[in-house]
Amino acid sequence: MYRFKGFTEKANTALNLAIEAAQELGHTYIGTEHIVLGLLREGTGVAASVLGARGVTAALYEEKIVEVESSGEFSRLTPEDFTPRAKTAMEMALAEAAMMQHGYVGTEHILMAVLRDDSSVAVRLIVALGARPDELFGDIAKAVGAPTAQTTAGGERLGKAPAAKGGGKTPTLDQFGRDLTKQAKEGRLDPVIGRAAEIERVIQILSRRTKNNPCLIGERGQNRYRRRPGPKNRRR
């Protein structure tokens, strides 16, 4: 059993069941849909309870996954095979727990983190089974004893992440990062000359489902350059 630091026993069990689910379905990656299936298979946590109360069961959810992604032969996977979106959800689960002033990361925090990304396969499948994310947020708040169905002790809304200036669909990224794509479209980035091959290779690495983090190494302003795909250490 893999151990995920900071997560409760039930949350650890759910994440391991997510890996097992992806393996059994013959998928070569572990996405947020597998995480939700793991939460449901765990069966005793807050996440499984609120989803079940809204008619989302492990059996029905697995059927939906197979409908949209089919299945294949058993594949051996590890935590390194979590997709970038799934890894982000796990990181956001830590933020959810901190925002609610909880000293642990439980199944409820993982589910909340997944629900925030309403464009994911995981959330689309939940909605297809008749459950609404906003209602699930309220159910979680009631289950863990939050002050109201929609707010935390600090007054932040549970239904949505704190909005960054100017709004947008990625408030957390907007708050802590820079939208390089937007800056490039606006012509605010310096042009890169003589690096067409390297740029193309970086794009290829970023487009992978797994091992999709390029590492760019070299002194600023120098012509030394080396790229290395790997699960960690992206430097920009």
pLDDT in tens, 48-75: 999 999 999 999 999 999 998 877 778 8
Number of domains within the chain:
2
Report the alpha-carbon distance of residue 145 to residue 206 in Å, rounded.
Answer: 40
Residues 76 and 117 in one domain: yes
Residues 161 and 217 in one domain: no
Q: Is the residue at 192 inside a domain?
A: yes
Residues 48 and 131 in one domain: yes
Residues 126 and 216 in one domain: no
Q: Is the residue at 216 inside a domain?
A: yes
Residues 194 and 139 in one domain: no
Q: Is the residue at 2 inside a domain?
A: no
Q: Which of 142, 167, 192 is the last residue of a domain?
A: 167
The pTM assigned to this predicted structure is: 0.62
Residues 158 and 188 in one domain: no
Residues 60 and 138 in one domain: yes
pLDDT in tens, 120-179: 999 999 999 999 999 999 999 888 876 433 433 333 444 444 444 455 667 666 666 777
DSSP-derived secondary structure for 58-81: HHHHHHHHHHHH---S-----GGG
Find the CATH number of the domain harbouring 40. Answer: 1.10.1780.10
The alpha carbons of the chain give a radius of gyration, in whole angstroms, of 20
Residues 6+ apart with CB under 8 A from 111: 36, 39, 46, 47, 50, 51, 136, 140
Residues 163 and 197 in one domain: no
Q: 30's torsion region: left (phi>0), alpha (psi -120 to 50) or beta?
A: beta
Confidence of residue 211 (pLDDT cuts 50, 70, 90): confident
Higher pLDDT, 232 or 208: 208
Q: Is the residue at 236 inside a domain?
A: no
Residues 6+ apart with CB under 8 A from 74: 23, 24, 26
Residues 26 and 117 in one domain: yes
Q: Which of 147, 167, 187 is the last residue of a domain?
A: 167
Tell me which residue of 120, 96, 118 sits closest to 106, measured CA to CA: 96
**Which residues share a beta bridge with 82?**
30
Q: Is the residue at 3 inside a domain?
A: no
Q: Which residue range(s) make up the domain with 52?
A: 9-167
Q: Is the residue at 206 inside a domain?
A: yes
Higher pLDDT, 77 or 146: 77
